[in-house]
A and B are shown apart, each in its own frame.
Chain A
Amino acid sequence: MAGRANPWTTGLFAALILLFTGGPVLLSLLGSLIPDRVLLDQGSSLFAEGLNFDGYRYVFTGELPRAYQAENANRAMISDAARQVPASLVNSGIIALSAMVLNILLGAPAAFLFARYLFPGKKLSFLFLILSPLVPAVALVTPIYIMLQSMGLLGTRTGIILVHTARALPFTVLILSVFFRKMPAELFEAATLDHCSRFQVFWRIALPLALPSIGATGLFAFMLSYSEYMFAMVLSGDAGARPVSVVMAALARNTDVSWSLLNTAIFIAIVPTLVLVVLVWRFVVEGLLSGSVKG
């Protein structure tokens, strides 16, 4: 796989891949800046109307876009749901951050043991952990709904955090144990010879050394929680706990909504994930790739 290929075909393939994976996202950025009139009316062209940021102003300040301030404008196309986007971003942030922290606290010790120790029941525990994410989420929704209802956690962020934490934990343990395995064994052997207890080895040596990897794995848990939709929808109810994925779905299902407003909301919701993509690639994926070389 040396890079001796024709630069033109390489460029063409790269462009095709970019177009397929990034194209729809780029479209939504454009769509958020183009006034609806250009889209819906064949007669008016983009050059006559120009781009505008009215959609963004409405979402953050509530000021109606110029086009809709006219007497007979169709106000139904401006949906209140778009105004929930900033609040839902805060909700998503709180939920995803809590899921991330809980994942590291609960997952790191288990990952360390899986990576460094042999113990009875190891294979069974590991198998349980890698197979459990394969149980389809749709099949779990109803029982978990009823379970959280009896615990009084419906419509709260706590309920969603609980479910997201549990759904991400298997991945956290898997990825972290890959990272722990990459550490040189001599370090741990030296510590054991110095009569460090298992907890001391973990707390004093493994944890500080793995800190970058732990951050990376945390990002992954954050991402899973941020993009999760089904549980978030069922468990958040009508309350103010709705994360961004649920608000976006509500906005998308309103067929009358202004396209430029919809795209504005989408793009605002995408920005944190754009940042995440870069971080996740740099720290998680590159780390995993170099890990498997040695594995």
Chain B
Amino acid sequence: MWEIRRYPALWLLPALLPVALMTLYPVAYALWTSLHSVMLLFPGEPFVGLDNYLRVIQSNYFQDALTNSLAFTAAAAPLVVVLGTLIALFLRRRFFGVQVVRSIVLLPWVLPGAISAVLWIWVFHPSFGVLNGLLRDLHLIEGSIGWLTSPRLAFVSVVVAHVWTQIPFTVVLVMAALAAINPETLEAAAIDCKSAWRRFWYVIFPEIKAMIVVLIVYNALTAFTSYDLVYAMTGGGPGTATTLLSFQIWRESFSMYDFGAGSAVAFIVVLISAVLILAITRALPSDLFGSE
């Protein structure tokens, strides 16, 4: 590591400026808009204080959407991390065809959310979905189960689909954390500790704990702000069963043309996310990306 006295702007700004332009400025803009009445139909943008926030919080959808978003987050984030860790542990083994399995696991990562949604509609569709067909062929059910039409099952279905899209990233990062463990530690553990579960709990888990915490918070954030997959699968229905808070930013801004209220919802989402980000920075070990 060599030292440079002055801030090397020429090297860094080409990377930092576009990022700032697409994050800092929009966030500041959302804050400003949320405090003003910005509607396409009315000229002028008077300052209204916290009016937009009050209106949004008191509106009939807010409570449902917030509850759904939090429930969605609480269900999806732990599931992704637990499943992802199990798969990562499994894929560290050497067996015939492990390279193929490792590649296939990445598949959901590169699919646009809209395509993933169609794939999962295809699985869950009440009348000709694969899942109902399979259950019928096994004579487990008589008629068909309304996976996407009953409120509770629709919620379960979108959680399953969301978990599917998020697994690859978690698998890769947990595998990276596992690869970083000193091999001698593992050899010693293999000799001292016969039970695989105890070996995981007392030796491996402490080593990857930091990564797991980061992943839980990251996944909580992703779930809390997810938009396209759930929307494309159910459109928020049936009723409001799968309406998430993030849809409302959209609805207020682009279908009601009330940019003030839309920005207020956006800023509420940012605030709740900020709490999660704070948790991340606390949990994030400063040497996560290695400083030699």
Interface residues in chain A, defined as those with a beta carbon under 8 Å from any beta carbon in chain B: 1-3, 5, 7, 10, 13-14, 17-18, 20-25, 27-28, 31, 39-40, 105-107, 109-113, 116-121, 125, 127-129, 131-132, 134-144, 146-147, 162-163, 165-167, 169-170, 172-174, 177-178, 181, 192, 223, 226-230, 234, 244-246, 248-249, 251-253, 259, 262-263, 266, 269-270, 273-274, 276-278, 280-281, 285, 288-290, 292-293, 295
Q: Does B82 reach chain A (CB closer than 8 Å)?
A: no
Number of chain B residues whose Cβ lies closer than 8 Å to a Cβ of chain A = 99
Besides A131-B277, A143-B29, A292-B290, 9 new A-B residue pairs in contact (Cβ under 8 A), listed by A number: A20-B164, A105-B14, A106-B15, A110-B11, A119-B3, A120-B5, A141-B250, A230-B228, A252-B114
Given A229-B114, A244-B112, A24 and B90 contact (CB-CB distance below 8 Å): no
B281 touches A109 (CB 8 A): no
B289 touches A117 (CB 8 A): no
A293 to B179, CA, bound (A): 6
Given A143-B29, A229-B114, A17 and B21 contact (CB-CB distance below 8 Å): no
| Most A Cβ at <10 Å: residue of B21, B108, B110, B114 | B114
Q: Does B253 reach chain A (CB closer than 8 Å)?
A: yes
A138 touches B21 (CB 8 A): no
A1 touches B19 (CB 8 A): no
Given A21-B107, A292-B179, A132 and B90 contact (CB-CB distance below 8 Å): no
Q: What 10 A-B pairs come out closest when comparing CB atoms?
A: A295-B290, A136-B225, A143-B26, A245-B112, A249-B114, A110-B15, A166-B22, A24-B119, A143-B29, A139-B266
Q: Which of B257-279 contact A (CB under 8 A)?
A: 259, 262-263, 266-267, 269-270, 273, 276-277
B180 touches A292 (CB 8 A): yes
Minimum C-beta distance from B289 to chain A (A):
6
Q: Does B221 reach chain A (CB closer than 8 Å)?
A: yes
| Most B Cβ at <10 Å: residue of A25, A132, A140, A142 | A142
A40 to B22, CA, bound (A): 47
- Contact string, B1-13, partner A, CB cutoff 8 A, digits 1/0? 1111111100110
A293 to B186, CA, bound (A): 14
B111 touches A270 (CB 8 A): yes
B112 touches A129 (CB 8 A): no
A117 touches B12 (CB 8 A): no
Among candidates A10, A229, A280, residue contacting B228 with C-beta atoms closer than 8 Å? A229
Given A120-B5, A142-B30, A144-B22, A18 and B122 contact (CB-CB distance below 8 Å): no
Interface-side segment among B43-51, B91-99, B149-157 = B91-99
Given A14-B95, A107-B15, A138 and B7 contact (CB-CB distance below 8 Å): no
